């Protein structure tokens, strides 16, 4: 479906108001020769359907197109690397980028168009059906980068091969002789977390290695989840000898809790992360992790948004980039 197929037009408003297109045009242009009651009804419909005048939709000749990038939550290492990729691609394509938190004020989508935005990139943000409808009416394409939840079938998104990454991380630990391998992940409802966990379970099942229920712990993609989750895992009667963490930040929490317990990494506990952010390289010891190509994903999201803004048809609504296991010093063969 073309990106502007559902954009509100003067004809749409005229039909709903029961007046002519010319009358609606007069209201839009501030003409005085419209009855007050009619003007009020038309203005209400214009606001209700987020109508944006064509003059506000057009980018001035020679002006750089502008993309709105929205992300929720705190700015973390993961978000910073994804934004880095978006900004680098924007510079390459002579595009301006405005970075903001999601705004749910009335007519926010129409206001973005009025401000000259050509498209929106949402970094892991959650958009409801109402938000999507508002963007569609305003004629603004949306690209979701690494969606936390399955986006609507018409929404374009960019992610990575999370299942394959979870599979590779767990196979690596199994190859080192570990059989008591736990998974400490993010939100249970997040699709990226589910995919990583299913990759972990698939690898364990392939080796016919049972997974105790207590070995799989959802949480948040935070350092605190790593701290508290590892406390619970190490308190088990049979604690794991290896932990696959849902992201690098969780993995750093795992390492810190192990340190406070007097455990050595990797001699006493092997740890694998996910993302390969700067944190993984700064960890002590440097973290074995699954590289999620965050900068490349940001670049693909930016280029996809530009193509949609130009009215191009994109064959695939979801693009996945390959993950890669990066082995460093936080994993070692299981001790006898």
pLDDT at residue number 23: 84
What is the C-alpha separation between 127 and 147, in angstroms, rounded?
A: 10
Report the C-alpha dihedral over residues 25, 31, 32, 35, rounded to 10 degrees. 10
pLDDT of residue 24: 76
Separation of alpha carbons 166 and 162, rounded Å? 6
**Domain topology for 162-293:** Rossmann fold (3.40.50)
Domain locations in the chain as residue ranges: 10-49, 64-159+294-319, 162-293
Residue with tokens 């929720």: 72
E strand spans, 75-169 = 96-100, 117-123, 142-145, 156-160
CATH of 64-159+294-319, one of 3.40.50.150, 3.40.50.2300, 1.20.1090.10, 3.10.129.10: 3.40.50.2300
For residue 86, the number of C-alpha atoms closer than 13 Å in the C-beta half-sphere is 32
Question: Tell me, what's the pLDDT at 272?
Answer: 98
Query: What pLDDT is recorded for position 312?
Result: 85
Spans of the chain, pLDDT less than 70:
1-8, 29-32, 47, 50-63, 103-106, 125-126, 150-153
Is pTM, for the whole model, over 0.85? no
Residue 225 neighbours by CB under 8 Å, 6+ apart: 184, 186, 219, 250, 253
Task: Return the pLDDT at 105.
Answer: 67
């Amino acid at each position: 479906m073309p990106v502007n197929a559902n954009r509100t037009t003067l004809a749409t408003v005229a039909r709903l108001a029961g007046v002519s297109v010319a009358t609606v045009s007069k209201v839009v242009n501030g003409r005085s020769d419209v009855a007050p009651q009619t003007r009020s009804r038309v203005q209400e419909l214009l606001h209700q359907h987020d109508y944006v005048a064509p003059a506000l939709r057009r980018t001035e000749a020679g002006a750089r197109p502008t993309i709105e990038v929205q992300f929720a939550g705190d700015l973390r290492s993961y978000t910073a690397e994804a934004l880095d990729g978006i900004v680098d691609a924007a510079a390459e394509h002579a595009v301006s980028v405005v970075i903001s938190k999601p705004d749910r004020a009335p007519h926010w989508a129409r206001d973005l168009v009025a401000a000259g935005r050509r498209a929106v990139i949402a970094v892991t943000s959650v958009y409801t059906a109402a938000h999507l409808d508002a963007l569609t009416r305003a004629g603004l394409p949306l690209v979701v980068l690494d969606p936390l939840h399955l986006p609507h079938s018409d929404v374009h998104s960019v992610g990575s091969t999370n299942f394959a990454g979870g599979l590779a991380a767990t196979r690596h630990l199994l190859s080192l002789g570990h059989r008591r391998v736990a998974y400490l992940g993010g939100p249970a409802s997040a699709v990226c977390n589910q995919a990583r966990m299913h990759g972990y379970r698939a690898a364990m099942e392939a080796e016919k290695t049972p997974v105790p229920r207590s070995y799989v712990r959802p949480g948040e993609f935070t350092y605190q989840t790593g701290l508290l989750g590892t406390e619970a895992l190490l308190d088990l009667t049979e604690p794991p000898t290896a932990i696959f963490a849902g992201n690098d930040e969780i993995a750093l929490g795992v390492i810190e809790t192990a340190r406070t317990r007097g455990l050595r990494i990797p001699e006493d506990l092997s740890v694998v992360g996910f993302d390969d952010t700067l944190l993984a390289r700064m960890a002590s010891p440097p973290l074995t992790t699954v590289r999620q190509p965050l900068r490349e994903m940001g670049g693909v999201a930016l280029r996809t948004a530009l193509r949609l803004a130009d009215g191009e048809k994109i064959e695939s609504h979801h693009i996945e980039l390959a993950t890669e296991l990066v082995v460093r010093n936080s994993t070692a063969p299981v001790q006898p």
